[in-house]
Amino acid sequence: MATASEPTLAASVDLEPASPEIKSYQRQKRVVGIASLLLTVVFLTLAALVFGPAVDRIVRGLVGDNAWLRLTGIAFVYAAGLELLTLPLDFWSGFVLEHRYQLSNETVAKWVWKRIKAYLLGGPLGLVMVLGLYTLLWYGGAWWWVIGTAALLCFTLLMGRILPVLILPLFYKVTRLDDAPLLERLRLLAEGTGLNVEGIYRLHLSEETRKANAALAGLGRTRRVLLGDTLLDGFTPEEIEVVFAHEVGHHVHRHLSKMVVVSVFLTAAGLWLVDAILRASAGPLFHAPFDDPAALPLVLLVLSIFGLLLSPAQNALSRFFEVQCDRYALERTRMAGAYRSAFAKLARMNKSDPDPHPVLVWLFYDHPPIRQRLALADKVSS
């Protein structure tokens, strides 16, 4: 798949160390992210250990003793409380900083409208999941967490199918890629992989951001490759081929299916842990049965801490998958120069730190640092 233009691409692949501007941007994003996590954990801890019963009494006074109405009211109180607590940080990170470092094209009105759409979609979905969880707690018996794992698997598979066709278009414009010469290049790359080239789409990111991105999304017949318009308009055809091949690598290595399997085991472990902690602690904390709606913040706290503790391992697995895809892209295209220039360009466009501290990588990075990805090209092509 090498092309005549391949040698010329190597001239711009040297990636300089992160500038003070990039270091500052990454540091501020990281501090805001950590602060948001800490606020969430502190809020849920106080709710679970201190003011949970008081919230339940207030909700009872408004809706009565009906368990379903109490559960809905309590869920709304905690969802609204968490949102109000973290919203300023989200705005600072997602809007102010992005504009400060010339990475965003979004207006305040568009940011607010996108947030409202997230509430309108995520609110009902979250409520359905909470009501479903307590339905299992009340009627599922001692093995409710096993049934819950199966139910969440079905929900995940459903969401995987509808995400790219129904949900993603609510937030971004998505159109079929109509560049015939580029489509032919990508069709040749996809040959023999089982990935339908008709599933290649332009994701219109430029209305919101100047960053470039690409992704493999969907399950079954809705699986498709999404290429950001910032990438399509700013990268050479050879560079786009390499990025596309990387996404095809996720399909070839069945990473989405593997992540679903991993999520099944993690869900089972998390729900079992909720069951064990609720039975041991909910009564003493709330003077109520373990499946009482007043124990909802304890459920959320257990799941949050469980997820935080597992995140380094999940990030490590994700980085492993990304390395597999990088290697696949290099071996499939045989264009190491285009690979290097593409990832160097991504680093510059996204203001990524190519040399983060290993501890930061272990804790927060679900993709390998750019410098490591460039080094892989030398290793594979040598």
* pLDDT single digits (tens) 168-226: 999 999 999 999 999 999 999 999 988 876 679 999 999 999 999 999 888 888 888 99
**Cβ–Cβ under 8 Å, residues 245 and 189:** yes
Q: Nearest Cα to 297, choosing from 124, 62, 76?
A: 76
Question: What is the pLDDT of the chain when averaged over all its residues?
Answer: 92
C-alpha 151: how far from its chain's center?
21
Give the chain as a 3 state SS string.
CCCCCHHHHHHHCCCCCCCHHHHHHHHHHHHHHHHHHHHHHHHHHHHHHHHHHHHHHHHHHHHCCCHHHHHHHHHHHHHHHHHHHHHHHHHHHHHHHHHHCCCECCCHHHHHHHHHHHHHHHHHHHHHHHHHHHHHHHHCHHHHHHHHHHHHHHHHHHHHHHHHHHHHHHHCEEEECCCHHHHHHHHHHHCCCCCCHHHEEEEECCCCECCCCEEEECCHHHCEEEEEHHHHHHCCHHHHHHHHHHHHHHHHCCHHHHHHHHHHHHHHHHHHHHHHHHHHHHHHHHCCCCCCHHHHHHHHHHHHHHHHHHHHHHHHHHHHHHHHHHHHHHHHHCCHHHHHHHHHHHHHHHCCCCCCCHHHHHHHCCCCCHHHHHHHHHHHHC
Q: Are strands 224-228 and 200-204 parallel, antiparallel or unpaired?
A: parallel
Strand order in the sheet with 214-217: 173-176, 200-204, 224-228, 214-217
Tens digit of pLDDT at every position of the chain (382 positions): 434 334 333 434 578 999 999 999 999 999 999 999 999 999 999 999 999 889 999 999 999 999 999 999 999 999 999 999 999 999 999 999 999 999 999 999 999 999 999 999 999 999 999 999 999 999 999 999 999 999 999 999 999 899 999 999 999 999 999 999 999 999 999 999 888 766 799 999 999 999 999 998 888 888 889 999 999 999 999 999 999 999 999 999 999 889 999 999 999 999 999 999 988 888 787 767 888 999 999 999 999 999 999 999 999 999 999 999 999 999 999 999 999 999 999 999 999 999 999 999 999 999 999 999 999 998 887 7
pLDDT attached to residue 279: 87
* pLDDT single digits (tens) 277-303: 988 888 787 767 888 999 999 999 999
Q: What distance in Å separates the CA atoms of residue 171 and residue 354, rounded to the nearest whole number?
A: 30
pLDDT attached to residue 12: 46
Q: Write the CA distances from 260 to 179, 213, 296, integer angstroms.
A: 33, 23, 26
Helices 67-91 and 108-139 pack at an angle, to 10 degrees, of 150
Q: Which two tokens stand for residue 59?
A: 């909700």
